[in-house]
Amino acid sequence: MTFKVTILGAASAKPSAVMHQSSQLVEHCGQYFLIDAGEGVQSRLVRVGVNPIRLTAVFISHLHGDHIFGLFPMISTMGLMGRTRPLHVYAPAPFGELLAHHLQYFDTELSYEVVWHEVDTRQHQLLFENNALEVWSIPLRHRVPCAGFHFKEKAPGLNIHKEAIERYGLGIAQITSAKRGEDVTLADGRVVSNEELTYRPYAPRSYAYLSDTCYSAKAVSLVRGVDLLYHEATYAAALKREAKERGHASTVDAAKAARESGAKRLLIGHFSSRYKGFDELIEECRAEFAESYLAEEYKTFEIPLKKEE
């Protein structure tokens, strides 16, 4: 039941000698999802041992170059690799126009279909769903239409206590009924509550990506209780006003978002190139929210299984 996030890039606007532009890889139960696609992202995927052809979907937060310039070369490369299954891309308008021009001039005979799903950045909407996971959009506050993404694991099916089977002499039909969440009626007419018979093997886990954005109380409310929160922290606390003017967040904004959302852990990234080291930034966050961590490139953050509360 793997659920982990690998950082592929955490720089803002322009790359630096030590950091690439925004991109992250989310792995859940053997499926791979890319969040944003800064320049050179396909090379970084290969470096962490993931062939781009394995991607199920790509989620683009907004149409600034540092979040999308790496997508189109990767689309071409996957064609050269012989990809045949569709690639689903979730992005705000007018992404469709950019995609159409790329296909017209560079990939006129692509071996697979690129399916664009428009993200309404004003709405909190279900974007993607499979049998184990949902991905929801989170409206953000930036200079252009922008959305965050909330990866929410679905609740696992109910398991039945082995001792309950023996105690009540449950048959296959009764066990099946209990696993559907129903109470069970015994042969003598007694009704045993489902709560007494079953348990969930683990509690659903979640990951939220909030970048690029100013502090947003609405976004915070939509990711309440998240296990791992990535929140941009482009600037140190001293530049909080400048951050807001540019549609970005400071370290104290990110820490506030983590604290008020009830997040278990905070990752900060999207750092301005003015910073050559990040000790100051993480210390400012930890002063406000102890479980704060740097989004270091090529580092993987696992979201461990947890018991149902």
DSSP-based three-state secondary structure for 40 = coil
d(CA 160, CA 48): 39
Q: Could you tell me if 51 and 19 are in contact, meaning their C-beta atoms sit under 8 angstroms apart? A: no
d(CA 5, CA 228): 9
Q: Is 123 exposed, middle or buried (0-12, 13-18, 19+ CB in 10 A)?
A: exposed
- The pair phi, psi for residue 303, each rounded to 5°, is -110, 100
DSSP assignment of 181-197 = T--EE-TTS-EE-HHHH
d(CA 120, CA 191): 48
Q: Could you tell me if 74 and 42 are in contact, meaning their C-beta atoms sit under 8 angstroms apart? A: yes
- 66 is annotated as an active-site residue: yes
- The pair phi, psi for residue 194, each rounded to 5°, is -60, -35
> Please, which residues have CB within 8 angstroms of residue 225's CB and are 6 or more apart in sequence?
206, 261, 262, 263
Q: Please identify which of the residues 36, 66, 107, 253 carries the catalytic annotation.
A: 66
CA atoms within 13 A on the CB side of 5: 27
Active site residues: 66
